[in-house]
Structure 1
Amino acid sequence: MKTFKTIFFILLISISAISCSSDDGTDGKDGADGAQGPAGTANVIYSAWINAPAGTPETIDGTSGLSTSIAAPQLTADIMAKGTVLVYMSFGSGTNVFALPYTSTAGGSINTITAISSLGNIKLFRFKHANDGTTVALPASLNWRYILIPGGAAATTSKTAKVDYTKMSYEEVCAALNIQP
């Protein structure tokens, strides 16, 4: 019986020694985090600055104004349903950029230029608030740019909350999406 106890004791010590490894010590200090990479533009679609034809008379939902259109071939039903469509206007060469809708007192009357999205197209519509049957020009000299941001998975925590690009300036949107203004 003494031999059995001795063998059992040696076997127990052997198993304990084999199951231990040098990895069982304390963890070392974590290294420093790397630098933040540039913002990505994965799946974001944006146009160059575009000139559109001068506006022509149109009535939309009972409001008279002038409209013109720019082609946006990548504007899909999915982007319209789940994503974000941003449209900007410039009075020339991408300077003095304004997000649509844009309201001013051009022509001595309060008027708004807005964008109406449809599959593959963005209609630009300018109307006077007075809706008195007269219009304010929608000249071909204006420049337009659109940014299409496809929708993603629904946010589940505050850390992954969706960014509201409509509340950001043009410059902030370009910086956030790594787009050359």
Structure 2
Amino acid sequence: MKQVFSVLSVTCVAFFTIFLSTTNVGCKKGDDGAKGDTGTANVMFSGWLNVKFQPQTNNDGDTVVWTAEIDAPKLTKAILDSGTVKVYLNIGTAASQTVFPLPIADFYYAAAYIESLNLYYTPGKITMYASQDASTETVAGQTYYQFRYVIIPGGVPAGRMGTDYQAVKDYYKIPD
């Protein structure tokens, strides 16, 4: 009885091995595809930028507003018509970020106080108007007050992440 069972077992194994090797039922490794880009789809973003604000004065020589421009060459009329632009201010350092979405009004954080910092967009440019000088600073080798923009073309879903920098960064896989 043991011999019949052994012969039957060997026959079954041989049959299935031959059957699977002559048909396309078995697994077969396909060709590797081309490596795609990582994470951000059509979303464009700048690095953290150093920005210098300039005082704008009235006829009496008093500073009435501080202005700065950020070049954003991929900011097109089509994006302005149907996309989204987000701008962030890191008042901390690269190693210890404290990031706020812009625009801001009545902003007070530690020793920093800015009554307002507003944004205006035109193709290729982001113009900022601030009530105080919000220029990038370097103190003891550490850089503070850097700006970053994120451009989300129309048709790319923004999801429900709001304006929080960390949520946008995580959602679109934007590197530090």
Could you tell me which amino acid in structure 2 is paired with residue 149 of structure 1?
Answer: I
Does structure 2 conserve the Cα–Cα contact (< 8 Å) formed by 1:58 and 1:67? Answer: no
**1:157 matched to which residue of 2?**
none
Give structure 1 regions of 4+ aligned residues with deviation exceeding 3 angstroms.
105-110
1:145 aligns with 2:145: no
Q: Deviations over 1:67-90 (max 9, x none)?
A: 111110100001111000000001
Compute the RMSD of aligned alpha carbons: 2.8
TM-score by length of structure 1 reads 0.59
* Structure 1, unpaired ranges of 5+: 1-38, 128-135, 154-160
Query: Residue type of the partner of 2:53?
Result: A
In structure 1, C-alpha distance between the alignment counterparts of 2:66 and 2:175, rounded to whole Å: 30
What is the total number of aligned residue pairs between the two structures? Answer: 124
Distance 1:124 1:99, change over 3 A: same
Distance in 1 separating the partners of 2:87 and 2:70? 11
Shift of 1:43: 1.0
Counterpart secondary structure, 2:171: helix
Higher relative helix content: 1
Contact 2:47 2:148 in 1 (8 A): yes
Structure 1 or 2: larger strand share? 2
Please show how residues 20-99 of structure 1 align to structure 2 within 5 Å. 40-57=39-56, 64-94=64-94, 95-99=97-101
Q: Cα distance, 1:168 vs. partner?
A: 3.5
Q: TM-score, normalised by structure 2?
A: 0.61
User: Which blocks of at least 5 consecutive residues in structure 2 are unaligned?
Assistant: 1-37, 59-63, 138-144
How far, CA to CA, are the matches of 1:146 and 1:173 in structure 2? 11
Evaluate the alpha carbon distance shift between residue 149 and residue 162 of structure 1 in structure 2; reply closer, same or farther with a 3 A threshold.
closer
Distance in 2 (CA, whole Å) between partners of 1:49 and 1:68 is 15
Q: Taking every aligned residue pair, what percent have the same amino acid on both sides?
A: 29
Distance 2:43 2:112 in 1: 38
Report the secondary structure of 1:138's partner residue. coil
